[in-house]
Amino acid sequence: MILFARRASTILYDILIARRDDRPFLLPANVCPVVPLTFLKARRPYEFVDIRKDSYCVDHEVVLEKVARNPNRYSGILFVRTYGITADPDCFFRRLKELTPALFVIDDKCLCVPEVKGTKESAADLELYSTGYSKYVDLGWGGFGYLDEGFSYDRHPGDYDSGALDAITAQVKAALSARRPFEYPDTDWLETAAPGITMEQYFGAITSKLATIRQHKEKLNTVYRCNLPQDIGFIEDGHVWRYNILVREKEQLLDAIFAAGLFASSHYASLGGIFGEGRFQHAESLHRAVVNLFNDFRFSEEQALKACEIVRGHVEGRHGL
């Protein structure tokens, strides 16, 4: 079954409402905040798990141990392919299903290259993609997914207020900045209206952009690869969404990049202590070091070269040029 909505989080919300269950979902501690926001709106509990320090995705062994120890405790897991990595988690999904066949497994590929195809290929129950702002294909809106046949799926439309979305986004950013618990206000922040175009038109818009996006990303990734020190590199398949590097004193580097009239980002903070209890060592360590260098159409080859100069200066101890 192919699903299509204004946002990927709308699909997630509809799935959570359809599969009403009081048992918690397992989420990686460095998941995008919109995910726990969606769980809170759907009134579904969740529990965070730390990531692995080698793959930056949720720790397989910790999850398997939790599920094996208590096979009936959890209703599902949302596996995020951090920064759009291409590593294949199907073996992990199958092991989970062997332990608890009813566990609902979501393969969150929102930062991956969107795959327009006829059917689901992942061993998960749901593959989820996004074409919203800053995603691999940025249409400014839209999400789609591939759901196993046999699962129920219905839309749950409600009121939407863009001002409510702006407000809750600001509240989340403030909580993240202060590292304090976030208090969820149930407002009309989630856009649940049906898309204004057909699925065929939507998929056509995606496929028409893929080749030029891929070419541009490969060009800028080559600039970064050839002009940055090798020892600050990310895992090999970790440059799909952005070109990611790991540095010390990253806030100084970000300040230098912005001071030069450029921009970079710092995503995937640990949500432990903000959207839930606990501290998560590897999620926190990743966020302390990672800088996402842009490789989309908001960034040119000239800008990428200038960013490389600034990064090299920072790594060499000059903290910017």
What is the DSSP annotation of 92-118? Answer: HHHHHHHH-TT-EEEEE-TTSPP---S
DSSP-derived letter for residue 49 is: E
**pTM of the predicted model as reported, rounded to 2 decimal places:** 0.95
Q: Give the C-alpha separation, 288 to 247, whole Å.
A: 8
pLDDT of residue 88: 87
Q: What is the mean pLDDT of the segment spanning 197-216?
A: 98
Judging by DSSP bridges, how do beta strands 76-80 and 25-28 pair with one another? parallel
List of residues 6+ apart from 6 with CB closer than 8 A = 141, 142, 143, 191, 192, 193, 194, 195
Domain-by-domain residue ranges, the chain? 2-197, 202-315
Q: What is the mean pLDDT of the segment spanning 207-219?
A: 98
Q: Quick one: how far is CA 269 from the chain centroid?
A: 11
pLDDT digits (tens, 9 = 90+) for 32-72: 999 999 999 999 999 999 999 989 999 999 999 999 999 99
pLDDT of residue 321: 38
What value does the mean pLDDT of the chain take? 95
Record the tokens describing residue 267, joined without a space.
Answer: 């995503």
The CATH code belonging to domain 2-197 is 3.40.640.10
**pLDDT over threshold 90, residue 73:** yes
pLDDT of residue 245: 96
Asked whether the beta carbons of 77 and 46 are under 8 A apart, the reply is no
The CATH code belonging to domain 202-315 is 3.90.1150.10
pLDDT digits (tens, 9 = 90+) for 113-157: 999 998 888 899 999 999 999 999 999 999 999 999 888 888 888
pLDDT of residue 235: 86
List the one residue out of 60, 78, 48, 63 whose CA is nearest residue 277. Answer: 48
pLDDT of residue 318: 56
